[in-house]
Amino acid sequence: MEVAVIRSQMRELSSDLRNIVHTLSVPLSFHEKWDMRTIDARLLSIITQSSSFVNSTKNFKPEDLKMVDSIIQQLNDKRVQSDKIAIEAVQKSEVFTHQIEQQKKEFKKTMEKVNNDYNVQRKSEVNRHKNEMDTIQSDIDRLNSTFEAKLNAEVGKCIIEKDKFQTEFNELSEKYQTMKNNLEGQLHDYDSKVEQYTKELKEMEENNAKLLVELETDYQKRIVEAEEKFAKRSKQLMDEAEDLKKKMDNFDSNSNNNDLHSIKEKLDRLNEEHEIKAQKILEEKKKELAENIENLINENAKEEMDLRQEIAKNKSENKIRKENMRQKLASLKEQATAQESLNAEKIKVTKLKADQVVSDLDSKRQKLILDQKSVIDLTKKRYLNDLKQQQKKSDATMSQSRQKLAQLQNEFEMQKKRLEAEVTALIRKRNRLQLDLKAINETGSVKNSLGYFDFVKEQVVDIQPNPSYSNKITTVNGMVNKFQTCNKKSNKKLVEMRELKMKCDQELKQEKQRLLVQLEKTKTQLNNAIDGVRLLKIRKDELLNKQRMQDTIEGTQLKKQESELKAKLLNQKEIIRQLKEELQKIRVDDSKRKQLSIIQALQKSEVKELQKQIDEFDEKVVETIENKQKELNEDLIREKEKSGEVIKKMINRLDEAFQELKKVKEVYESEAIKEQQRWMELRNDIAESNLKILANDQTKGKSRPPSSAATSSKGTPVASPLPSLRRI
C-alpha cells in the first residue's frame, strides 16, 4: 500500500509539474502565482515516504544499480544540455535586444530626417507660394473687373479716328501711287531705250572689232600662204638650179663653156621675172586690204555719230523731266509739313488719353493687389493649420505604435525572466532527486533532508495552491484522467494565447492600415493644396502674359501708328501737288474719269487687304496665347510629376520603415516561439525523466521485501542529508 501511495503522489506531482511546464510554455497576459512552498512540502512528503520504503531494503541488485546509474547519467546530460540552452537563450536575448535598439535608433534617425526634410520643403514651398499668391490674386481680381469693357470703349474711339486717317491716307496714297506708277513707267521706258541704244552700240563695236580681227587674220593667212607658196616655188627653183648645176658640171666636163654661160643667163632672167611678179601681187593685195579697212572704219564712225546724237537728245529730255518731277515733289513736301503738324497735334491728344487710361488701370490694379494679399494670407493660415493638425495626428499615431512596441518588448522580457527562474527551479529539483538517488545507491537509506529544502526562500515567488492537490489520486486511471484534464487545460490555454496573439496581430494590421489611410489623406490634402497653388500660379501667369501682350501690342501699335503717320505725312506732302494737278487735268479731260474709277477700285482692294491683315494679326495673337497656355499646362504637369515623385519617395520610405518593423516583429515572434518550444522540450524531458524514475521505483518496489532495519526508534524513516544547492 505504501508503494501505491508513493506512486500516486509521484504521478500527481509529475502531472502538476507538467501543468506548470505547459502553462509556462505559453506567453501569459497576466502573471499567475504558484505556491512553491506547498510543492516543496509535497515533494518532501513523497521523498520521506519513498525513503521509508527504500530503507526497508538493504540489498540492491547490480542490474538496478546499473539502470539507476544510466538514468543519473542521462539526467546529467540533460542538465548540461539545459545549461547550454539557457546560455544560448541569454545570448540570443542579448543579441535580440541589441538589434532592437539598433533598429529603434535607425528608425528614429530616419523619422527625424524625414520630418526635417518635410519641414524644410514645407517652409520653402510656403514662402515660394506666398510670393506667388500675392501676384496671382491681383491678376484674378483684375480679370473679374470691367477693365476689358472700358478698354474696348476707349480703344473703339481710337480705332474710329484711326479708320478716318486710314481712309484719307489710302485715298491720297492711291492717287500718289497712280502718278508714281505713270512716271516710273515713263522713266522705265526711257531707261529701256537707253539700254537698247547702249546695247546696240556695244554690239556694233563688237562686230567692228570682230570684222577687223577677221580681216587681219585673213590678211595674215594670205600672207602666210603666199610666203609658203613662194618658199615652195623657191625650193623648186633651187632644186632645179641644183639639178642644172649638176648637169652643168657634168656638161662642163663634156661640153663647151659658151653653152654654160647662155644657160646661166636664162636662169638669172627667169629668177628676176619671178621676183618682180611676186612683188606686184603683194602690193596689189595690200592696197585692197587697206581700202576695205578704211571703208569699214568710215561706216562704223557714221553709225557711232548717229547713236551718240540720239543718246544726247534722250539725256536732255530726261533732265527736263527730272527737273519737272523735282518741282512737283517740292510742292508736295510743303503740303506734307502742314499735314504733319495737324497729325502731331492729334497724336498728342491720343497719348494723353492713353496715359490717363493707364494711370486709372494702375490704381485699380494696386487696389486689387491689396485685396488679394488679405485673401492669400487667410488661405495660407488655413492651409498651415490643416498641415499642423495632420502633423499632430501623425505624431500621435507614431507615438502609439512606439508604445505598443515597447509594451511587447517589456512583456517578452518579463516572460523570459519568469521562464528562466522556473527553469532554474526545475533544474535544482532535478539535482536534488539525483543526489537522493546517489545517496540511496551509496547508503541504501534515505535520511531526512528537511533542513536543506530552503532553496525556494531566495525566490520572490508567491504561488497559490491548486485546489486539485488536496484530492489525492490512488489509481492509475485517476492519474491518466488527471493527465488528460491537465493536457486539455494546457491546450485551452494555448488556444487562448494564440487567439490573443491573433487579436494583437489584427490590431497591429488595423493600426497600420489606419496609419496608411491617414497618410493617404494627408497626401491628398497636400496634393490638393499644391494643385490649388499651381492653378493660382497659372492664372497669375496667364493674366501677366495677357497684360504684357496687351502692353506690347499697344506699344507696337502706337509706334507703328506714329511711324505710319510720319511716313504718310511725308508721302502726302509729295503727293498733294500732284493730286491738285491731276484734279485740274481730270476736270479738263473726261478721258481721265476712267483712271479715277480704277483708283477707287484700288482703294477698295487696299482696304480689304488691310482688313485681312488685321484679321491675321488677331489670329496670330490668339495662337500665341494658346501656345503660352499649352506651355503653362506642360510646366504644371512637370511640377505635378516632380511632387508625385517626392511623395512616392516618402511613401516608399514609410513602407520600408513599416517593412523593417514587420521583419523585426516576425523575428521577435519567431525567436519567442522557438524559445518557448525549447523550454517546452526541456520541461517535457525533465517530466519524462521524472516519470521514468517513478516507473523504475514502482517496478523495484514490487520485488523488494519490507524491512525495518533503517527505521528510527519512533518508527519514522531517517532521511539522508541532501547537499546544499548552488544557484545557477
Judged on CB neighbours under 10 Å (0-12, 13-18, 19+), 125 is middle
Contact 603, 357 (CB under 8 A): no
Q: Decide if 336 contacts 577 (C-beta within 8 A).
A: no
Strand partners, 23: none
Give tens-digit pLDDT for 589-607: 545 455 556 666 666 676 6
Does 67 fall in a domain?
A: yes
The per-residue pLDDT for 363 is: 77
* Alpha-carbon gap, residue 597 to 22, rounded angstroms: 123
In a domain, 644, yes or no: no
CA nearest neighbour of 350 among 192, 154, 531: 154
Helix (H, G, I), strand (E, B) or coil at 198: helix
Residues of the chain with pLDDT under 50: 27-34, 57-58, 255, 445-474, 476, 590, 592, 704-728
Give domain status of residue 203, yes or no: no
Please, what's the b/e burial string for 417-448 (b: 16 or more CB within 10 A of its CB; e: otherwise)? Answer: ebbbebbbbbbbbbbbbbbbbebbeeebbbbb
Number of domains in the chain: 1
Contact (CB, 8 A) for 589 and 582: no
Q: Are 87 and 702 in contact (CB under 8 A)?
A: no
Query: According to the model, what pLDDT value does residue 717 have?
Result: 39
What is the Cα–Cα distance from 501 to 511, expressed in whole angstroms? 15
Name 201's bridge partners: none
58 located within any domain: yes
Domain that holds residue 668: 2-113+403-534+654-703
Q: Which of 435, 423, 434 is nearest to 74 (CA)?
A: 434
CA of 193: how far to CAs of 196, 198, 305, in Å? 5, 9, 17
pLDDT (0 to 100) of residue 499: 74
Neighbours of 571 (CB within 10 A): 19
Cα–Cα distances (Å) from 113 to 74, 512, 653, in that order, read: 57, 21, 11
Closest CA to 78 of 695, 686, 725: 686
CA angle 19, 21, 25 (to 5 degrees): 120
In a domain, 22, yes or no: yes
CB 423 within 8 A of CB 682: yes
449 occurs within a structural domain: yes
pLDDT of residue 473: 46
Q: In the numeric block, which cell numbers belong to residue 700?
A: 523495484
Q: What digits encode the pLDDT tens for the residues 106-142?
A: 777 877 777 787 778 778 777 877 777 777 666 666 6
> Mapping DSSP to helix (H, G, I), strand (E, B) and coil, where does residue 1 land?
coil
Site of grid cell 547537499: 723
Cα 290-293-297 angle, rounded to 5 deg = 140
**Cβ within 8 Å of residue 654, ≥6 positions away:** 114, 519
Instruction: Give dist(CA 89, CA 675) in Å, integer.
Output: 7
Structural domain contains residue 272: no
CB 423 within 8 A of CB 82: yes
Q: What's residue 387's pLDDT?
A: 66
> By C-alpha distance, which of 470, 432, 438, 439 is closest to 454?
432
Which grid cell sits at 170? 489710302
Residue 699 resides in a domain: yes
Q: Residue 153 CA to chain centroid, in angstroms?
A: 48
Question: What pairs with residue 463 in β-bridges?
Answer: 34
